């Protein structure tokens, strides 16, 4: 069992969940072992942003982004599946100013890929 801490954004997202949803989320995070976090095919994504290593897991309609700190996990973001904010984090785009997105080529590449499906 790992200690789990939450950012302000994560706490806001958790407060909107039912009690059973909150328990499922904390259980999923606290049960992640070092072996699971290091495996490539464990269902846990891993990427680097601004020099920090983040992990991503899916839980129902949520996407949970967290980082490892010693033997604890710090949950940075809890976002809805396929939301604009989730897309911005996955594509390593700045999330503070949405107008900046239009100048980022990966945004237009993503929109183009949706059109071709």
Inform me whether the pLDDT recorded for 54 exceeds 60.
Answer: yes
pTM to 2 decimals?
Answer: 0.70
Domains and CATH numbers, the chain: 1-81 (3.30.2310.20), 82-117 (no CATH)
The answer to whether 95 touches 65, Cβ cutoff 8 Å, is no
Q: What would the mean pLDDT of 60-71 be, rounded to a whole number? A: 85
Question: In Å, what is the CA distance from 46 to each residue of 20, 21, 80, 112?
Answer: 27, 24, 18, 25
17 vs 60: CA distance, rounded Å: 12
Lowest-pLDDT range, 22-31, 40-49, 94-103?
94-103
- Token pair, residue 11, equals 């706490």
């Amino acid at each position: 069992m790992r200690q789990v801490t939450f950012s302000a954004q994560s706490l806001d997202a958790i407060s909107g969940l039912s009690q059973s949803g909150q328990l499922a989320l904390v259980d999923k995070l606290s049960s992640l072992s070092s072996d699971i976090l290091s495996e490539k095919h464990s269902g846990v994504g891993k990427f680097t942003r601004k020099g920090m290593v983040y992990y991503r897991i899916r839980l129902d309609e949520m996407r949970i982004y967290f980082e490892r700190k010693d033997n604890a996990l710090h949950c940075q973001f809890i976002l809805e599946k396929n939301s604009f904010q989730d897309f911005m984090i996955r594509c390593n785009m700045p999330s503070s100013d949405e107008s900046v997105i239009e100048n980022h080529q990966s945004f237009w590449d993503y929109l183009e890929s949706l059109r071709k499906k």
